[in-house]
Amino acid sequence: MAANQAEQGLVDQWRDILAVHARTLCAIDRALHEHGLGASDFEVLDVLTEGTADDGGDAYRVQDIAGRVHLSQSALSRLVGRLEKDGLVSRGMCSEDRRGVRVCLTDKGRDLHARVRPLQRAVLEEMLREPSAR
């Protein structure tokens, strides 16, 4: 009986995490919609603004971004394609691995990120603060 309760506690905890994630993602999508972005779009732009890539440059390999935004490589490639079409990022070949692709922000992407970052951060503040602080 105690094992079943412990197991159910883990399941309940997992479902609570999923619920918070889903609510937060939807709230970010709503906040950014009028700017033509979704939560995943913003995450890619945000990663690209966080300093320098592993090699010290300003472009990130798609594989490195995928690990940080939790998208499959194919989903991320489609997303980056849309961002490139909108003029927010540019893509180029990776000099050290000709199969790799590097992505960097354009000035337009950097400007849009700067405008919408406060919206995304406000949603995070609202959705993720401790329940006791609400």
User: Does 1 have pLDDT greater than 60?
Assistant: yes
> What digits encode the pLDDT tens for the residues 46-76?
999 986 555 445 678 888 898 899 898 889 9
> What digits encode the pLDDT tens for the residues 98-115?
567 789 999 999 999 999
Looking at residue 134, what is its pLDDT?
A: 45
Query: Distance between CA atoms of 99 and 105, rounded to whole angstroms?
Result: 20
Is the CATH code 1.10.10.60 the one for domain 2-133? no
What secondary structure letter does DSSP report for 88? S
